[in-house]
């Protein structure tokens, strides 16, 4: 799960789909499917949302615009009542390895992500990366 910075919203991955749940008096309300991010028969997950809930990064194995393996994707919206749109592959970060977002800073300028691969000896390797941009 990814809990938004204020603790009021939680995004979770379930059955290769992304769900959103809002805080209730005790715990969270039942999650609802974030339908605008779904592509049929495509695994995705690792939802990572900005503090204002207007930008979501996630990983997907879509093959239509893939760098190989699991790629980082991003979607945006103007208000929290709008659906996410403008979905696109973050090609400048993705490699042939499995790339997954893990955290985005409040100013949207620093993204932490993990990269998974198998080394020459056949050993699984997991690395933490950081990407930055100017505001």
Mean pLDDT throughout 114-118? 87
22 — pLDDT class (breaks 50, 70, 90): very high
Mean pLDDT throughout 25-36? 92
Give the pTM: 0.89
Question: What confidence score (pLDDT) does residue 23 get?
Answer: 94
- Residue 25: CA atoms inside 13 Å, Cβ hemisphere, count? 0
Per-residue pLDDT tens over the stretch 52-109: 999 999 998 876 666 677 899 999 999 999 999 999 999 999 988 889 999 999 999 9
Q: How remote is the C-alpha of 115 from its chain's centroid?
A: 13
């Amino acid at each position: 799960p990814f809990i938004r910075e204020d603790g009021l919203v939680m995004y979770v991955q379930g059955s290769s789909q992304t769900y959103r749940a809002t805080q209730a008096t005790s715990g969270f309300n039942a999650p609802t499917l974030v339908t605008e991010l779904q592509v049929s028969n495509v695994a995705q997950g690792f939802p990572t949302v900005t503090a204002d809930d207007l930008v979501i990064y996630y990983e997907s194995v879509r093959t239509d615009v893939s760098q190989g393996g699991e790629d980082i994707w991003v979607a945006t919206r103007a208000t929290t009542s709008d659906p996410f749109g403008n979905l696109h592959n973050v090609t400048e970060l993705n490699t042939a390895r499995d790339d997954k977002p893990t955290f985005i800073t409040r100013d949207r300028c620093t993204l932490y992500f993990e990269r998974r691969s198998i080394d020459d000896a056949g050993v699984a390797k997991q690395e933490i990366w950081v990407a930055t941009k100017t505001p």
